[in-house]
Amino acid sequence: MTAEVEIAGERLVLRPDRSLFWPRTKALVIADPHFGKAEAFRAAGVPVPGDSAAPLTRLGAALDDTAAEHLFVLGDFWHAREGRTAHVVEGLTAWRNERPGLLVRLVRGNHDRAGPPPDGWGDWSNDLRVEPFVFAHFPEPADGGYVLAGHLHPGVVLGRERLRLPCFWFGPRVGVLPAFGAFTGAANVPIRRGDRAFAVAGTAVVDVSRP
């Protein structure tokens, strides 16, 4: 179950797969996929499960479900150079080649020192400006529009069991998307009165804004 929020006069759809859909422009937005993270941990001798195939499957399903024509990636495409293996690059390239009509725009994140995007994914820029938004990696106010960003991997803690869930968080001038990648965790964020916050709880997105 999705949720909707109006930001800067635009209707945005918040999805339980941790992507955001902007209907007017047919753009799907994700932040912090951290492709190759599990591979980087294993290269360091930490035996963790997972690979980049699962996030790509979720991303493909989100594009199909929304019929998006644009994909914006708000930084941290990669996790680390050690995870940028030939196998990961081949998988990303094959996925991209299956969607030649999709227009992809990438924002550079602090983890993207790992190397250039794979063939067909395009080049990085420091931000993207599509009125009324500025799409960035770091959640800092900017002139020229409301900022939608990543980097923080925002989360909220709910209930007596202190369950930590990823969330979408919208302040007066900046909104932050949850990390799209698997195995990324979530950091508690200070939700203030007047902010809008939506937790991703399984297959639902739940409004947890403070009254």
pLDDT given at position 37: 61
% of the chain exceeding 90 in pLDDT:
66
Residue with tokens 């990543």: 150
pLDDT tens, residue by residue, 100-120 = 999 999 999 997 888 889 989
pLDDT tens, residue by residue, 165-200 = 999 999 999 999 999 987 666 788 888 999 999 999
What is the mean pLDDT of the segment spanning 151-158? 91
Q: What tokens appear for 193 in the block?
A: 């009165």
Contacts of 87 (CB under 8 A, 6+ apart): 39
What is the Cα–Cα distance from 74 to 128, expressed in whole angstroms? 9
What is the mean pLDDT of the segment spanning 70-90? 84
Structural domain of 84: 3-207
pLDDT given at position 112: 85
* Most confident option among 74-83, 129-138, 156-165: 129-138
pLDDT given at position 207: 96
Structural domain tally of the chain?
1
What is the mean pLDDT of the segment spanning 133-146? 96
pLDDT given at position 19: 98
> Where is 40: in which H helix or E strand?
helix 37-43
Residue 137 pLDDT > 80, yes or no? yes
Q: Which residue has the higher pLDDT, 188 or 73?
A: 73
> Burial, 193: exposed, middle or buried (Cβ in 10 Å; 0-12, 13-18, 19+)?
exposed
Contacts of 154 (CB under 8 A, 6+ apart): 166, 167, 168, 169, 176, 177, 178, 186, 187, 189
pLDDT tens, residue by residue, 21-69 = 999 999 999 999 988 765 555 554 545 545 667 889 999 999 999 999 9
Q: Give the CATH number, domain containing residue 76.
A: 3.60.21
